[in-house]
Amino acid sequence: MLEDKNPSKTSLGDLGEFALIDHLTQSFSLQNPSSVLGPGDDAAVLYHGKDPTLISTDLLVEGVHFDLTYMPLKHLGYKAVMVNLSDLYAMNAHPQQITVSLAVSNRFTLEAIDELYQGIALACKNYKIDLIGGDTTSSITGLILSISVLGSAPKKKLVHRKGAQENDLLVVSGDLGAAYAGLQVLEREKAVFKVNPNSQPDLTNYAYSIERQLKPEARKDVIDLLDELQIIPTSMIDISDGLSSEILHLSKASKVGFHLFEEKIPIDPEVNLICEEFKLNSATAALNGGEDYELLFTVKQKDYEKIKSHPFLTVVGHACEANAGCQLITGLGHQIELTAQGWQSFSKEDLS
């Protein structure tokens, strides 16, 4: 029944994560008046009181989402919390509670799990989050971590993926591609270590990117800044899968197209150097690398004055009519359509 040997059956790999979620959830409709927003945004929204409660959840599987060869358990705990907090910040909301469920094989000692929880505790301390529950069980192989985050926002301030309108400015926080660049370095060091376990790599030149990969920070500061600047974005999402994929999500939900200017994409100089070393296009790292946990949002043109000089906000493009699709405008003025799989299938020449 379960084995994928029947050619008339559909393999999950053919479908992809987003299509699978759409497929599985399409037949469910919301029945309770307290359920306001179901699957399809960064977090679900419910009303058990006057203001909305938000919940988001992530499942992290060893060997799929993390590699303990180079990911210290303390960092894993920290990052797992950040990934979840980021989903709530992406709705302009404030996370307050998490639940942590853990399945571990007996390969792990209590001391190892303690390290993981030290990272979770540090994240909770830094972001003022309460650990309120969870589940702990054994697994057959490896470590599985499921975290849910709860929070709230004043109803008026809640921001969704939908809401962007034509001519709105497309803004990104911080810089992109560093987490992906850091991953390349770590993967290379892992390969070197396998050949020579005594190698002592000097990673000083890669410190920023490695930190972005191993210990990212969720952008609470950006949410606080927007509040201070009295800006409520018209739409917002966090960058977990790469800029390209997230722009397409905003486009689909808001029913607008986007123009994204390649030369505006903020990339740290270290990332450019790493990409040169690895013979990668750094825009590719930004567009398809993912795991940056920066915020991508749209604002009204009238808000441009408020954000234009801010060091960690960059206008990278604007919304346009839906029929125009989502276009990357290269330095030479070529237009390349962003696709759900990213645009790595296009030749590099187009992007130089």
Taking contact as CB under 8 A, which single stretch among the options 8-16, 163-171, 196-204, 223-231 is the one that binds its own copies? Answer: 8-16
Q: Quote the CA–CA distance of 164 and 176 in Å, as a whole number.
A: 22
Cβ proximity to its own copies, 43 vs 260, nearer residue: 43
Q: Between residue 22 and residue 41, which ones bind its own copies under the rule CB under 8 A?
A: 23-25, 27-28, 30-32, 34-35, 37-39
Question: How many residues at the interface with its own copies, by CB under 8 A?
Answer: 88
Decide: is 7 part of the binding site for its own copies (CB under 8 A): no
Of 133-141, 201-209, 315-323, 338-346, the window that binds its own copies (rule: CB under 8 A) is 133-141
Name the minimum Å distance from CB 318 to its own copies.
30
| Cβ atoms 83, 292 nearer than 8 A | no
User: Residue type for 49, please?
Assistant: G
Q: How far is residue 17's CA from residue 144's CA, in Å, rounded to a whole number?
A: 18
* Beta-bridge partners for 130: 97
CB–CB of 244/287 below 8 Å?
A: yes
Smallest separation (angstroms) from its own copies to the CB of 144: 6
From residue 68 to residue 97, the character string flagging contacts with its own copies as x (rule: CB under 8 A) and all else as - is x----x----------------------xx
DSSP letter at 66 equals: B
Dihedrals phi, psi of 126, to nearest 5 degrees = -65, -30
Q: Please state, in angstroms and rounded to a whole number, the distance separating the CA atoms of residues 210 and 8.
A: 44
DSSP state of 62: B
Nearer to its own copies, 28 or 195 (CB): 28
List 320's β-bridge partners, or say none: 257
- Which residues within the stretch 42-71 sit at the binding site for its own copies (CB under 8 A)? 43-44, 46-53, 55-59, 61-65, 68
Among 90, 91, 103, 256, binds its own copies (CB under 8 A): 103
